[in-house]
Structure 1
Amino acid sequence: MEENKELKMRCWIDIDGKKFFGPGRVQLLQMINEHGSLSKAAKEMKMSYRKAWAMVDDLNARGKTPFVTLHKGGVSGGGAELTPEAQQLLQAYSELTKDLEQAIASNHEKILGLI
């Protein structure tokens, strides 16, 4: 019987041994960028607002510069937007992910053939 083997990798960034940036935060930043709102981004991801806020707060606190600017509610309803640094990070992470996928594809048969 033929086994279904897959070669997979996950990529994230740790700072001082603690996870800082990876697929979940990438998705959150993308949703914030799309919706202009942390609340809407959290809802889209089926995540509590509190958890989404904690993730953004962690990114802003531990990063070199803030990645998300939050605007308090009021007459205009508040909102959230990505900083240019967040846009650059998303782009660089996307490029890295594509490079990793290409490396996996080109080594897939070689590695799985040994298993």
Structure 2
Amino acid sequence: MKNTKQLRNRCWIDIDGKKFFGPGRVQLLALIEKNGSLSKAAKEMGMSYKKAWAMIDDLNERGQHPYVTLHKGGTTGGGAELTTNGKKVLAAFQTLIHHVEATIEEHQAELLKLI
């Protein structure tokens, strides 16, 4: 029986030893950017609105600058949009992950053949 080997990596940013930014929040920000709505982004992720709101609140509170601006509903409905800072952090993190994944892809065969 042949074993399937795979080198896996997860990358996130901690602040004071507590997870702050990683794959889940990246996905949430990307979906807010796509949909213009926190509730639509949460629904697409299969996440409760309350949990998504808590994640955004944490980003906005613990980050140097806010990541998302939320607009309350009303006759025209609410919405959400990434701030300039949110867009920059999202793009920088996605670029980093792309480089990390490319490096892993380049070197994993050599390592995995030893295992």
TM-score band w.r.t. shorter chain:
over 0.9
Question: Alignment partner of 1:41: what SS?
Answer: helix
CA offset at residue 12 of structure 1? 0.6
Where does residue 23 of structure 1 map in the other structure?
Answer: 23
Question: Taking every aligned residue pair, what percent have the same amino acid on both sides?
Answer: 62
Where does residue 91 of structure 1 map in the other structure?
Answer: 91
Where does residue 9 of structure 2 map in the other structure?
Answer: 9
| Aligned-pair Cα RMSD in Å | 0.8
2:22 and 2:86 map into 1 onto residues whose CA distance is: 13
Q: Which runs of 4+ in 1 moved over 3 A?
A: none
Task: Normalising by structure 1, report the TM-score.
Answer: 0.96
**Aligned AA for 1:28?**
L
Where does residue 52 of structure 1 map in the other structure?
Answer: 52
2:76 and 2:18 map into 1 onto residues whose CA distance is: 36
1:83 and 1:32 map into 2 onto residues whose CA distance is: 11
Instruction: Extract unaligned runs of 5+ from structure 2.
Output: none
2:37 and 2:109 map into 1 onto residues whose CA distance is: 43
Instruction: Extract unaligned runs of 5+ from structure 1.
Output: none
Where does residue 106 of structure 1 map in the other structure?
Answer: 106
CA offset at residue 16 of structure 1? 0.6
**Aligned AA for 1:92?**
A
Task: Normalising by structure 2, report the TM-score.
Answer: 0.96
**Aligned AA for 1:106?**
E
Aligned length: 115
CA offset at residue 17 of structure 1? 0.7
Where does residue 67 of structure 1 map in the other structure?
Answer: 67
2:43 and 2:102 map into 1 onto residues whose CA distance is: 33
2:93 and 2:78 map into 1 onto residues whose CA distance is: 28
Question: Alignment partner of 1:70: what SS?
Answer: strand
